[in-house]
Structure 1
């Protein structure tokens, strides 16, 4: 399989503090690739560099061979790289269907004019229903998003993300703050939507990482400690020392 997203020599300094130091990362087509590490490892900074919410001090980032190092988040989204956030980001007073419809309006270049005629707005409904069904929320389709459980809100976010027709999903701690039942539901959802997409995720839940990931990159103090499948990285002495010494988030 080819490389979809690649970083070479990726470095980020904040006033003399090196948060990410000379990181090389390659995400293969069709894989689920996890970025993990103990507290302060540089995972979030690295993820924000890859998703263009931060600009690197040095190094390059390419997507399908195209240099995206200096691009903005909106630019890479148009290329097919779409990210989620740790904090729930739904419109609480809109229904599940309406939340997904907003994403479809954005993808089609439509205005967010909620006062326009219902006929104009509802032309996206069939496609929105398909995305709602894809994430298992059909029975909640008319519910206000603010009334959903936390796990179902995250599923709704994924539905809205899928409405943007991403080639690659970048998930920022998708299981953060979830009860076990929701973790199992979202794990199954990620596995399902990954069948024809590439996924890079930052995740602190190691059982989820072990269950889902094809490849894992372990960071500590801004540098790569180990890389490989879970069986490989979980036995690496440097990884064991890093987690025992710092704890994981």
Structure 2
């Protein structure tokens, strides 16, 4: 039986004034999987991620989501198809409560314009679902807290809640653990594991222990090309991957 692929890229290439940031990348993400995109500093991960989410247009190549060619589509259009990048609406309103932030995201999901002029009674009809989403990300007790007052890890959880309000089939997370303390990393890792139960997740992540514990499949990029692919046990023992990462053992993980 053929693998059920929800997102695929073929020959994905991005050239910047003669520099190949992403070079002929083929990628297949299985439906229901947690798929990690990793690589050393400058590997092209962020560029590849931006191509898949259409924040950059590819120089060459095709991207297919749920059997539909989305290569020429805009980010807002593919979000309506159920392919949602975490930060598309996750720049939370700092002086609104967690509940209010999720409620605004729910308004967008149902296709209405932002109903700032509507009565509290009308808007309160969204409270039930907003509270369910806050509970799903472990923020039920923070419903009335202002976003600006939330600790960093909790704020990231709120961003994920606003993304889940769009009811995505596939969620793309760009370095969800960046800047987090260990306690927050453990909390958000647990959260990603929970929300993946009925969704597909593709994430760029530098924290390899997180990648090892969460990912079903890993694609390793280096110099804009696919270096290796497989589960963590396989890619972590691949001599090419070890060689690519050896510099970061001493310099620390960077961005790219």
Q: Alpha carbons of 1:27 and 1:204: their partners in 2 closer, same or farther (altered >3 Å)?
A: same
Unaligned runs of 5+ residues in structure 1 are none
Question: Is 1:23–2:25 an aligned residue pair?
Answer: yes
1:85 to partner: Cα distance: 3.5
8 A contact 1:11–1:18 mirrored in 2: yes
8 A contact 1:12–1:58 mirrored in 2: yes
8 A contact 2:10–2:24 mirrored in 1: yes
1:115 to partner: Cα distance: 3.2
Note the alpha carbon deviations across 1:183-225, whole angstroms, 9 max, x for none.
Answer: 0000000000000100000000000000000000000100011
| Equivalent in the alignment of 1:146 | 148
Note the alpha carbon deviations across 1:2-30, whole angstroms, 9 max, x for none.
Answer: 00000000000000000000000000010
TM-score (norm 1): 0.97
| Equivalent in the alignment of 1:177 | 179
| Equivalent in the alignment of 1:245 | 247
Unaligned runs of 5+ residues in structure 2 are none
Counterpart pick for 2:219 among 210, 217, 220: 217
| Equivalent in the alignment of 2:51 | 49
Q: Alpha carbons of 1:98 and 1:88: their partners in 2 closer, same or farther (altered >3 Å)?
A: closer
Counterpart pick for 1:160 among 159, 162, 166: 162
SS of residue matched to 1:49: helix
SS of residue matched to 2:183: helix
1:229 to partner: Cα distance: 0.3
After TM superposition, the structure 1 = structure 2 runs for residues 1-249 of structure 1, keeping only pairs within 5 Å, are 1-85=3-87, 89-246=91-248, 248-249=253-254
TM-score (norm 2): 0.95
Equivalent-residue separation in structure 2 for 1:88 and 1:67 (angstroms): 26
8 A contact 1:34–1:200 mirrored in 2: yes
1:122 to partner: Cα distance: 1.0
Please give the root-mean-square deviation of Cα atoms over the aligned residues, in Å.
Answer: 1.4
Equivalent-residue separation in structure 2 for 1:12 and 1:151 (angstroms): 33
SS of residue matched to 1:6: strand
Over 6 Å off, 4+ runs: none
SS of residue matched to 1:75: helix
Equivalent-residue separation in structure 2 for 1:152 and 1:22 (angstroms): 38
Equivalent-residue separation in structure 1 for 2:7 and 2:24 (angstroms): 16
8 A contact 2:218–2:232 mirrored in 1: yes
SS of residue matched to 2:135: helix
